[in-house]
A = this chain, B = another copy of it.
Amino acid sequence: MSLLIVGSVAFDSIESIKGKREKIIGGSAIYASLAASLFSYSRIIGVVGEDYPSDIIQIMNQKGIDTTGLIVQPGDTFSWGGVYSDDFSERTTLFTDLNVFETFNPVLNESHKKSDYVLLGNIHPSLQLSVLDQLESSSNIACDTMNLWIETTLDELKNLISRVDILFVNDEEAGLLAGNKDLSVAAQTILEIGPSFLIIKKGPNGAVLYGEDFEFTIPAFPVKEVFDPTGAGDSFAGGLMAYLAMTGSIEKEILKRAIAAGTILASFCVEEFGVERLLKVTPEEVNERYSILSQLADLDATPLLK
């Protein structure tokens, strides 16, 4: 089934304990669609400047990513720079040049409007809402957000959240959104806003899926060496949504496997700078990591006490 991904396209300048990269390919739509390409065809909606390299577009097309929704506008591509603390627990933004992204206005063509699965990457809630309003079909919608929108446009964000099927937030954002740092309490508060499922990302502590009457946890995949966590959350969301699109379902048991798919793509993402590792992932490697991941928290069913 068809997957639409709306998000940012950017040049990133990144510094971590493992090194430094200047002006490499980044942005939520890029990470998400490259992760998605392991499972499903996808179409992206985004904006770039005239300085955006055509070779990356070609590579994406070869991976089954439809880039006809990637609009080129006069000016420079969105550019972001940041530095990670040595243990990756903190990130400091060095600069944000919005450039053409400042006036980004996602416009869906007739084909985009009929998408079965839609991932609204982390952009201003009003833009995410504008995409929702353009959709024709009864799409399955997932959206990502960030603390900035929780703090500055809460009403708009809540309106958005009430209309989506799956919401992605990290643990800090969940606490902020619900006004309670206890995640199981926060999860119930957030589910009451309207989404069918809430996925709380906890970085090295994995992720938790909350539904109306169940929860499911998944550990992070044990990565040997982290180089650059940029885009891990987008890879997670992209891999997850593409797995759902591949299977054509968002029922509970499929969602568990989809979260595993997202976890695995995020684990590849962080192993090199930018999208370097994502570009090389093979289906065999995905299955290998799934096999490890499915055993990582596996308890046999025999009761503890007779």
Contacts and interface: CB of A to CB of B under 8 A. Distances in A.
A252 B205 CA distance: 22
B297 A297 contact: yes
Interface stretch (A69-77, A145-153, A155-163, A282-290): A282-290
Contacts of A294: 299-301
Contacts of A303: 287, 290-291
B184 A222 contact: yes
A256 interface: yes
A237 interface: no
Contacts of A165: none
Interface string A243-265: 10000000001001100110010
Contacts of A256: 298-299
A214 to B, nearest CB: 9
Nearest to A184: B222
Interface in A173-231: 175, 180-184, 202, 204-206, 208, 215-219, 222-224, 226
- Interface residue tally on A, bucketed by range: 35 or more
B304 A286 contact: yes
B305 A216 contact: no
Tally of this chain's copies? 2
A115 B202 CA distance: 40
Please indicate which of the listed interface residues A38, A88, A206 has the most CB atoms of chain B within 10 Å of its own CB. Answer: A206
A173 B177 CA distance: 30
A181 B219 contact: no
B305 A38 contact: yes
Please indicate which of the listed interface residues A182, A224, A261, A304 has the most CB atoms of chain B within 10 Å of its own CB. Answer: A304
A1 interface: no
Nearest to A258: B304
A222 B218 contact: no
A39 interface: yes
A217 B206 contact: yes
B296 A216 contact: yes
B299 A257 contact: yes
A217 B216 contact: no
A256 B297 CA distance: 9
A5 interface: no
Interface in A120-143: none
A62 interface: no
A287 B306 CA distance: 9
Nearest to A224: B184
A79 to B, nearest CB: 29
Given A87-B182, A183-B204, 8 more contacts: A38-B305, A87-B181, A182-B204, A206-B219, A217-B219, A217-B297, A218-B297, A293-B299
